[in-house]
């Protein structure tokens, strides 16, 4: 599939940086108008369901036997993550397969790596490191991370939580930089599709520290460009997961949980 980015100016530089544009797999099931309509309405519904966890905001509201599970403990955060898997990943997969009659690979859910992209992903992570280490010195970040507040030095529990946490980030990347972004690209064009996808992504950071919420706007734009240019969410998933894991481990180290 040819690049939708302008071959001059900024987009031309991006194209030269990444190299040849990979093709998208066939078939393409729906026209751009109908696809955009389904995606925009479904994203609105899914985000509300996600925020309210399907109408069951706490583990106890879903199952009375889980009433003793605190939302900030490991069990409560696993409950939170599972709703993310449902609404970020499972339902969009079902819509793509059953309504669009397409493959999730058309929406970036595939592996695409070259020497160029590996270097670009590594460079983006390195660029983020100063901000990451600065955040690790701020009380507002240390109060927020990690999400699980009862983590101890038990590495089995830490690995379990971080695995679930990072898997949810992959689901999140697919939702915003895959399902939403790829689904709107043909209808609205590259720049507008990225801008539209950044709106709900940045709003979802409303409960995060202010610098992180503002940074989500820039991060959403950059990861959107990377996803569309490589036709894969892999780069965003790698970058997002690396930063998230580093932030958690740094916070645990600063709190004396690990050393």
Name the percent of the chain in helix, strand, coil, to the closest 5: 70, 0, 30
The label of the residue with tokens 């690396």 reads: 242
Length of the chain: 259
CA dist., res. 64 & res. 187, Å (int): 45
CB 239 within 8 A of CB 251: no
| Four-point Cα dihedral 124, 125, 126, 130, nearest 10 | 110
- pTM higher than 0.75: yes
Residues of the chain with pLDDT under 70: 1-10
Tokens standing for 82?
């599972």
End-to-end CA distance of the chain: 49
What does the pLDDT read at residue 10?
59
Neighbouring CB atoms inside 10 A of 109's CB total 22
Instruction: Indicate the burial class of 152 (C-beta count within 10 angstroms; 0-12, 13-18, 19 or more).
Output: exposed
* 192: CB partners within 8 A, 6+ apart: 184
């Amino acid at each position: 599939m040819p690049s939708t980015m302008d071959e001059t100016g900024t987009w031309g530089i991006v194209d030269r940086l990444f190299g040849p544009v990979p093709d998208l797999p066939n078939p393409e099931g729906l026209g751009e108008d109908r696809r955009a309509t389904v995606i925009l309405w479904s994203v609105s519904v899914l985000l509300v369901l996600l925020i309210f966890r399907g109408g069951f905001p706490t583990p106890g509201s879903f199952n009375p036997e889980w009433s003793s599970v605190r939302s900030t403990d490991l069990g409560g955060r696993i409950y939170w993550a599972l709703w993310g898997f449902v609404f970020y990943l499972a339902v969009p997969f079902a819509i793509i397969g059953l309504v669009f009659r397409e493959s999730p690979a058309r929406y970036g859910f595939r592996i695409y790596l070259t020497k160029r992209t590996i270097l670009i992903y590594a460079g983006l992570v390195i660029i983020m490191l100063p901000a990451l280490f600065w955040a690790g010195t701020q009380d507002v970040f240390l109060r927020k991370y990690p999400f699980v507040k009862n983590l101890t030095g038990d590495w089995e529990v830490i690995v379990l939580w971080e695995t679930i946490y990072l898997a949810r980030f992959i689901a999140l990347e697919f939702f915003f930089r895959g399902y939403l972004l790829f689904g709107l690209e043909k209808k609205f064009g590259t720049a507008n599709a990225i801008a539209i996808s950044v709106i709900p992504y940045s709003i979802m950071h409303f409960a995060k520290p202010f610098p992180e919420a503002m940074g989500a706007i820039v991060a959403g734009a950059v990861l959107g460009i990377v996803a569309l240019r490589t036709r894969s969410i892999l780069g965003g998933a790698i970058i997002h997961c690396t930063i998230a894991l580093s932030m958690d481990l740094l916070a645990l180290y600063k709190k004396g949980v690990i050393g």
